[in-house]
Each structure stands twice: as structure tokens, then as C-alpha cells.
Amino acid sequence: MAEIPITQALKQATPKPMKIEGVVGAAQGLREGSPRIKIYVARKTPGLLAQLPATIAGHPVAVGETGEFKALER
């Protein structure tokens, strides 16, 4: 059971995983109609996955591999 609303959990919890090398973002998402926190990583590795929580404030966490994010030049 969720301890706090997912938007609040995401806001409070995002700074910690963003400090882990290889984590490139976090967002609120849905899977089969259920809200969850999505943590995006450049590359899924066993070492990186071991550092990420399975839940945050009672909300499930899903991990997605995106590759590196790079800013586009204007």
C-alpha cells in the first residue's frame, strides 16, 4: 500500500537515485493501469540494478534502459 501520493513520492525520492552513476532520469508512469515510478538508466547492469529500490514509499519501481541523453545544439 502506498504511503504517500505517487507525485509526492517521486518528488521526494528523485534526488537520491539521480546521484547514482548511470541513472539519467525519473518519472511517473503506468503499467497495466497501475501507477509506478519509472527510473531511466543509460544501460541496465546488475551492479546498477542492485543500487535501485524495488519500491519507493509503497509505489513499485520499474527500470527502463534509454541510453545516454545528450543536449541538442541550437
> Count of residues for the chain?
74
C-alpha–C-alpha distance, residues 21 and 36, integer Å: 22
State the cell numbers at 60. 513499485
Supply the DSSP string of 8-57, one letter for each residue: HHHHHHTHHHHTSTTEEEEEEEEETTEEEEEEEESS--HHHHHHS-SEET
Of 34 and 69, more confident: 34
Q: What is the pLDDT of residue 1?
A: 66
First to last CA, the chain: 45
Q: What is the pLDDT of residue 73?
A: 87
Q: Write out pLDDT tens, residues 26-67.
A: 999 888 888 999 999 999 999 999 999 999 999 999 999 998
pLDDT band at residue 71 under the 50/70/90 scheme: confident
